Amino acid sequence: MFEPIVTVRNVNIYQGSNLILSDVNFTVERGEFVYLVGKTGTGKSSLLKTLYGELTLKEGDGFVAGYDLRKMDWKKVPFLRRNLGVVFQDFQLLTDRNVNENLRFVLKATGWKDEKLVEEKIADVLDKVGLKSKGFKMTYELSGGEQQRVDIARALLNSPKLILADEPTGNLDPETSDEIMQLLFNICKDYGTSIIMATHDFIVISKYPSRMLKTERGKVFDSAVAEV
């Protein structure tokens, strides 16, 4: 059965008063992996920011993980984001604490109070990303690939329906990029998590082909509908 996690219909995306993308239409199903590609400045980041509630949706209809983006306000955004995981290119890990404490910080910030459940959840996500034994390492002691895995573990903490990954292989060597891509595809397959991954890396796309959304000339082109 199809279960749309993202539905975008007749959407116009603005940065301030500037129209960035017009008449955007696409759906992402549960457990689907979708690339978001396009040259710098063509609206990829604006689209991602709209999906996680940083940019207000003014025109059209958008639903993410059951939340109506048109009805988002500052009070509702945290609830939307608890159903999302966001993976950054530059990791954005806290360097003054170890891996476990990085993850504990996020859980506490999103309302987890039971310490036993917090410990279990941290162990669970580190196991999923292959870092079971690295919880007590300081983040700066880890390799780039390991730091990216911690970032992905952090994105998994609240069992999200959708992960938005912004250039997750951008700072990694080819071998480490392969490991991260395999991990992301496994998360899709094993846990039914949808992933939208913004990337410039066409070597990665050719090795791990999947559906593509392409931002170009103020539009979004969908490879599921036509060749992009």
CATH code at position 59: 3.40.50.300
Considering 159, 176, 200, which residue would you say is the last residue of a domain? Answer: 159
Give the residue numbers spanning the domain of 128.
Answer: 92-159
If one counts the domains in the chain, the total is: 2
Cβ–Cβ < 8 Å for 183, 189: no
- In this structure, are 67 and 170 located in the same domain? yes
Residue 158 vs residues 47, 96, 217: alpha-carbon distances, Å: 23, 23, 36
- In this structure, are 179 and 155 located in the same domain? no
- In this structure, are 169 and 63 located in the same domain? yes
52, 137, 129: which is closest to 93 by C-alpha? 137
For residue 90, the Cα-to-chain-centroid distance in whole angstroms is 13
d(CA 172, CA 132): 21
pLDDT band at 226; cut points 50, 70, 90: low
128, 126, 157: which is closest to 142 by C-alpha? 126
d(CA 12, CA 100): 40
- In this structure, are 37 and 74 located in the same domain? yes
pLDDT band at 77; cut points 50, 70, 90: confident
Whether residue 119 is predicted with pLDDT greater than 60 in this model: the reply is: yes
Alpha-helical segments (H) within the chain? 44-51, 77-82, 99-109, 115-128, 144-156, 174-191, 202-207
- In this structure, are 176 and 73 located in the same domain? yes
Least confident piece of the model among 178-182, 208-212, 223-227: 223-227
- In this structure, are 57 and 116 located in the same domain? no
Give me the mean pLDDT over the 139-155 stretch. Answer: 92
Whether residue 215 is predicted with pLDDT greater than 80 in this model: the reply is: yes
d(CA 154, CA 61): 29
Q: Partners of 22 in the beta sheet?
A: none
- In this structure, are 218 and 154 located in the same domain? no
- In this structure, are 40 and 100 located in the same domain? no
Whether residue 1 is predicted with pLDDT greater than 70 in this model: the reply is: no
User: Average pLDDT over the chain, rounded to whole?
Assistant: 91
pLDDT band at 92; cut points 50, 70, 90: confident
